[in-house]
Structure 1
Amino acid sequence: MEWFSRSNGELFAEQVSVANIAEQFGTPTYIYSRAGFEAGYKAYEEALSGHPHLICYAVKANSNLAVLNVLAKLGAGFDLVSVGELERVLAAGGDPAKVVFSGVGKQRHEIRRALEVGIHCFNVESEVELERIQEEAAAMNKVASISMRVNPDVDAQTHPYISTGLKDNKFGIDISRAPEVYQRAAELPNIDIVGVDCHIGSQLTTKEPFIDALDRLLILVDQLAERGIKLKHLDIGGGLGISYDGEVPPTPTEYLSEVRGHLMAQEKYQHLAIVVEPGRSIAGNAGLLATEVELIKKSDHKNFVVVDAAMNDLLRPSIYSAYHGIEPVQQDDSKESLFCDVVGPICETGDFLGKDRDIKVAEGDLLAVMSSGAYGFGMSSNYNSRNRIAEVMVDGDKVHQVRRRETIQEQFATESLLPEE
């Protein structure tokens, strides 16, 4: 995370002190690095240079308009799963012709809007959905480009809640059933088959599951060719992990060079463009969560550092037992190290940001929860009627507030009392 570094023991976001950001915007606050997002995206561009490709950033990882705009300016496409995400992409200057629409529950109005703006393709996840897209496209006198998302039954060796490529997962069409579904799609007058899609899970730290899935996809490509169905692109999804706690995942180049090698090894695959849907590997290490220590609660059994951030701000530790590094914003070696859990004020035992940590900390100190640029704010809520927090983007020596802190009144704005009797 070179865009978050220390100078004389003080943590900086690019060229700006995190402490100064916290003083200006309060805590808790998400702090993003523009350079971090750009570097994450460019790593994929470099890895796929010279081969036809489309890099579709997974909007669910971090959907702030400023983040989407930074990536759109670099030429990114977008992978999305709702009409809300589509509207965000459009508002941020994204090109709808570079959008793939995934998700198992696309509603009819979402399909119509996507057809209206002219997205690149739908990633179809069921036979029922295929028929629904045909109906809506016919009603609008349009042709819908589609790619089938297939489920290859590959174990991604990741947390079960973020595994998506096993038979027991809700995603995609069983790969053994896929040729018949493609045959049906080829018969539909308002459907244009353009590719095949596969996404097996998130936070993968080895290449083997990716390559296993790729090999199974290429067998399907051959089966479809025998039926006269020739694909234009191979969407290999996202899921590449980042280092939260010493993991050493492959780089985009290390991973994608093998994918390219598989395609270039045989002439029959060389025409296939590569589509990727990275999210975490672009956003994760481009952000941190700044939080202030409210109090320290000590007992004979356990020490708790209670901070002003909570599970409603960063849910990953609570639902995935996910690890995030937690560091003092300003290091002070004169302080005694405390073995503790870092917890929030929410009335849930599961409200923690880190367990069993050694931190040199005192009341009023600032802490940085690292690697929280992905699945942080996007999964936040108003639980316990807490306001959703601010987001800022650092660009060199400049700081821009890209979402202001919510107010209590804004929480109430869409609610109403019952009328008086």
Structure 2
Amino acid sequence: MSHFTLKQGVLHAESVALPAIAERFGTPAYVYSRAALQGALQEFLDVLAAHPAGDGALVCYAVKANSNLAILNLFARMGAGFDIVSGGELQRVLAAGADPRKVVFSGVGKTANEMKQALDADILCFNIESPAELERLNEVAGQCGRQAPVSLRVNPNVDPKTHPYISTGLKEAKFGVAYDDALALYRRAAALPHIEVAGIDCHIGSQLLDPSPFVEALDRILALIDQLTAEGIRIHHIDLGGGLGIKYKDDQVEPTVASYLNPLLDRLAGRGLKVVLEPGRRLVGNAGLLLTRVEFLKPGEGKNFAIVDAAMNDLKRPALYEAWHDILPVAPHAGETRVYDVVGPVCETGDFLGLARPLAIAAGDLLAVMSAGAYGMAMASNYNTRPRAVEVMVDGAQAHVIRRRETVDELYAGEQILPA
């Protein structure tokens, strides 16, 4: 169910008309639906609750997808944990009310200070991605007088059939421990004095619309668990990562959470393993949009341009991945439909939000860049000294600012001119 719908010819977020948001808060603006966020997480919780292997499972939201405190707090209140990849994200989730015993720490480059920070917070688990990281964590944990709970992020070398920039489970990726090396590294982890083997982790990529690679990866991981068990190395939880995709285009078929999870849970039945999941995009992607206003229409001999007030610094995905986002007029009206490249004011040819879009629009119209809740504001920058957009959460008939728009003064407040 979409919580962004046309009502009386105007696009609404839940019960709030988007033009009212633009008038009150300005553009560009990220707009999120509370109901959509909560509904996306609840779908995971419901599927897990209905399956015996889902008993005690933990959904750890991947903070990198969208790290706004209000969103994190909503998920924490629903019982979610968090998958973090930096000390900053750890500080963020704790500020949002997270239970540190529901936090897993992923990422290939954890510093000693970040490890200490996580040990002091008493997080659930470190997802280890290299032998060097394991040795460092053992050393840091020893200095802290603690044992560090770990799982190894095992790279199963399964092709997720997604964009190469977000494919993480192939042997060429920087992520994880090679499958063939995992058994020896588990032996090493079990022998280290300040390491506690807790689980096993696997994440093969992002924006997967075919659930079959998840099953293939799990089968390889279960074979490894059997080897570990035979050697007396007990695995308490299995972290299946995230990666379930969302529908960005009308012709895409979005898999249901049940179609993704149930085949995995069926294979885990009777094994006594606690399931951990790390969804990100699936929880927030279609719960947000980027609201922008058309500044100019610029007809050209080869192309027509719709120049809007949002840019690649606000939403990087189209420029970075050539990613598609539907672009909809907020108040559709009659007029000549032309094919436009929807572009921003940033001084880069790659500054576009959508190419070759048929639109009937005029200068001053509002456009909604859909499915922008994931990797939108989280990847935004201040390129061209552009303040980042305001973030607004709609809750029924109410709209709340959950992050105010930056000012230019704030952008250079930490800079200093050299003395004369």
Please state which band the TM-score falls in when normalised by the shorter chain. Answer: over 0.9
Q: Name stretches of at least 5 consecutive residues in structure 2 with no aligned partner.
A: none
Residue 183 of structure 1 pairs with residue 187 of structure 2: yes
Given that residues 303 and 341 in structure 1 are in contact (C-alpha distance below 8 angstroms), is that contact kept between their aligned partners in structure 2? yes
> Is it true that 1:80 corresponds to 2:84 in the alignment?
yes
Give, in whole Å, the separation in 1 of the partners of 2:56 and 2:236.
10
- What is the rounded CA distance, in whole Å, between the counterparts of 2:47 and 2:142 in structure 1? 39
Paired letter, 2:255: P
Q: Is the 8 A contact 1:311 1:351 kept in 2?
A: yes
1:330 equivalenced with 2:331 (yes/no) = yes
- In 1, Cα distance between equivalents of 2:31 and 2:335: 26
AA aligned to 1:361 is I
RMSD, aligned α-carbons: 0.8
Question: Is 1:69 paired with 2:73?
Answer: yes
Q: How many residue pairs are counted as aligned between the two chains?
A: 415
Quick one: which amino acid aligns to residue 208 of structure 1? S
What is the 5 A alignment of 1:14-413? 14-49=14-49, 50=52, 51-246=55-250, 247-264=252-269, 267=270, 269=271, 271-332=272-333, 334-413=334-413
Q: Secondary structure at the match of 2:342?
A: strand
CA distance in 2, matches of 1:192, 1:321: 42
- AA aligned opposite 1:219: A
Deviation at 1:52, TM superposition (A): 2.4
Matched AA of 2:84: L
TM-score, normalised to structure 1, is 0.98
Deviations 1:246-304 (A, max 9, x none): 3113211111110111112xx4x2x0111100000000000000000000000121100
Structure 1 distance, partners of 2:74, 2:395, is 11
Which amino acid in the other structure matches residue 326 of structure 2? G
> Over residues 212-266 of structure 1, what are the superposed CA-to-partner deviations in whole Å (9 max), with x where a residue is unaligned?
10011001101111111110111010000000013113211111110111112xx
| Alpha-carbon shift at residue 165 of structure 1 (Å) | 0.4
Superposed CA deviations along residues 152-199 of structure 1, whole A, max 9, x for unmatched, are 111111000000001111000001100000000001111111110010
1:51-77 Cα deviation digits (max 9, x unpaired): 221100000000000000111110110
Unaligned runs of 5+ in 1: none
CA distance in 1, matches of 2:362, 2:106: 46
Amino acid in the other structure paired with 1:289: L
CA distance in 1, matches of 2:191, 2:301: 71
- Structure-1 residue corresponding to 2:10: 10
Worse-matched range after superposition: 241-250 or 70-79: 241-250
Indicate the percent of aligned positions where both proteins have the same amino acid.
55
Which digits, 9 at most, give the CA deviation of each residue in 1:55-109, with x for residues without a partner?
Answer: 0000000000000011111011000000000011000001110000000000000
